[in-house]
Every structure is written in C-alpha cells, then in structure tokens.
C-alpha cells in the first residue's frame, strides 16, 4: 500500500507539472495526451525510486508533502535534462532555445551537448550529496532557523543560475527574478523543516515546491504574459485557450491536497520523519 501511494504521489507531482506546462504551451504548439501524461509517468517512476531509497511513512501528512516535493524536483530534473541535452528538435519555434545554448547560440551536436550536460548533472548531484554527507557524517549542522533557510535555498540558487544561463542572453538579466527562486526555496524550507530532520530532503522538497509555486504564479496569475520561450511567437492553436480551462480544476485540486496535508502535518509534527539514511 505504501508503494502504491508513492506511485500515486509521484503521478500527481508529474501531473501538476504537466498541467502548468500544457496551459502555457498548448496555444503555441498544440496538445496531445501522450505529451500531457509524460511527466506523470516519469513522476511515478521517481516515486518508486524515492520510496525504495528512503522508505518514508506516507501515512503521515507531512511525509506526503515532502515526498511530493522530492518527486517533483526529480521529475523536473530528468525532463529538463532530456529537453536540454538529449532531445533534438527545431528551435526556430522558440524565442528562448530549449536545447543547450551558449550565450544564446544553440549547440547543435548532441555529443557536444552531452559533454557539457553530463558533468553538469554530476556537479548538481555532487552538491546534493555534499549536503547529505556534511549534515549526516562529517559535521553536525546546528538545527537553527538560519541554517535551515540557507540549506533550503541551495536548490533555489542552482535553479537561479541555470535559469539565468538559459534566459539572460536572450531577454537580459533580471535581478529580482534571479533572487526569486532561492528566496522562495528558503521560505518553503522553513515550513518543511517541521516534517523532517534531513537537510537533503528539506533542500530537495523545497526546490520542488518552489518550482511548483513560481510556475503557478507565472502561469495563472500572469495569464496574459506569454511563456518566455514563446514570447513574441504567434498562437497557432487558439482553440486551446478555451480547451485548457477545465484543467485548472485538476491543478487546483492537487494544490488543495498539498496545502491540506501541510496543515494536517503542522498539527502533528511528532510523527516519524522522512530522512535519507
């Protein structure tokens, strides 16, 4: 039952990501169910992997929230690596290239992209592992609010630097946008720290929920602003402007489940903790 629940949580995390992605992209590139459920399937796979790795008690609301955040960031990382370094497609439909680019110039060779992407992926993983070893073996980090906020913000800084590398050469550097991800990640860390003693889990889940939060803001609170990668590009599928609307209820329902479990988890923080050993 726990493994089945892990698969469901991973599926919902991926479905949440695919919904905001579809909502912004479908008017420009159309809609297909296979593409829509892609992230949900990947999220389910990472749900299995994360559960086998950590064995959290998913009967506890706080653990469900952490697990949602962890599978969210794993799914996003895998999909973005695939889009950036593995997938080859026509980039002319984008304002901001989705394949890896250097100062806005797309690297066409998949081999050359992987020569950059694989070391970059290992570097990101190394940062996560460093947090794990420092907090569990090498040094005992004090469990204070400043330390929690700093550690939680690390994932946000990674996201900010990678995002600036991709976007800034095309649309310019925006200071507030750059600091937004680490700030929001730190805020999430302050909440999630009530559910776990693991700094690695706090950092991963905070980044996952930061992505979910910021994409929600950009997608549904700024609906008239086209997604950056399609800025200035024509809407080729105007029927999707109406067809996409019912998906908002599903999206809001997933957020409601997350928020409800946060509230329930905060009311009972004496439960078992989600901690990678």
Q: pLDDT tens digits, residue range 225-254?
A: 656 687 778 889 999 999 999 999 999 999
pLDDT average, residue stretch 147-161 = 93
The pLDDT value recorded for residue 271 is 46
Q: pLDDT for 187-197, tens place per residue?
A: 999 999 999 98
* pLDDT greater than 70 at residue 139: no
Q: pLDDT for 43-102, tens place per residue?
A: 999 999 999 999 999 999 999 999 999 999 999 999 999 999 998 888 888 888 888 888
The span from the CA of 168 to the CA of 172, in Å, is: 4
The span from the CA of 182 to the CA of 184, in Å, is: 6
The pLDDT value recorded for residue 272 is 47
* pLDDT greater than 50 at residue 148: yes
Q: pLDDT for 109-126, tens place per residue?
A: 999 999 999 999 999 999
How far is the CA of 84 from the CAs of 73, 124, 157, 212, in angstroms?
A: 16, 15, 19, 20
The pLDDT value recorded for residue 242 is 94
Can you point out the beta strands (E) in 161-251? none
The span from the CA of 176 to the CA of 192, in Å, is: 24
The pLDDT value recorded for residue 230 is 79
The span from the CA of 212 to the CA of 251, in Å, is: 11
270: Cα within 13 Å, side-chain hemisphere: 1
Structural contact between residues 184 and 133, judged by C-beta atoms closer than 8 angstroms: no
For the entire predicted model, the pTM comes to 0.91
Q: pLDDT for 59-73, tens place per residue?
A: 999 999 999 999 999
């Amino acid at each position: 039952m726990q493994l089945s629940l892990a698969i469901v949580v991973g599926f919902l995390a991926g479905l949440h990501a695919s919904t905001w992605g579809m909502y912004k992209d479908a008017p420009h590139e159309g809609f297909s169910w296979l593409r829509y459920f892609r992230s949900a399937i990947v999220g389910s796979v990472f749900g299995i992997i994360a559960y086998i790795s950590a064995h959290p008690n998913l009967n506890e609301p706080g653990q469900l929230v952490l697990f949602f955040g962890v599978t969210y960031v794993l799914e996003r990382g895998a999909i973005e690596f695939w889009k950036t370094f593995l997938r080859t497609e026509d980039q002319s439909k984008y304002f901001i290239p989705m394949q890896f680019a250097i100062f806005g110039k797309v690297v066409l060779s998949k081999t050359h992209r992987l020569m950059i992407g694989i070391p970059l992926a290992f570097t990101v993983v190394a940062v996560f592992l460093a947090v794990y070893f420092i907090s569990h073996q090498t040094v005992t980090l004090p469990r204070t609010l400043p330390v929690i906020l700093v550690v939680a913000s690390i994932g946000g800084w990674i996201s900010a630097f990678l995002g600036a590398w991709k976007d800034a050469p095309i649309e310019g550097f925006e200071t507030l946008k750059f600091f937004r991800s680490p700030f929001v990640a730190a805020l999430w860390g302050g909440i999630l720290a009530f559910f776990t003693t693991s700094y690695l889990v706090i950092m991963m889940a905070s980044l996952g929920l930061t992505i979910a939060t910021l994409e929600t803001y950009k997608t549904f609170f700024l609906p008239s602003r086209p997604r950056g990668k399609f800025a200035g590009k024509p809407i080729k599928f105007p029927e999707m402007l109406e067809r996409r609307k019912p998906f908002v209820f599903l999206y809001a329902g997933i957020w409601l489940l997350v928020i409800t479990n946060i509230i329930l988890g905060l009311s009972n923080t004496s439960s078992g903790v989600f901690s990678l050993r």
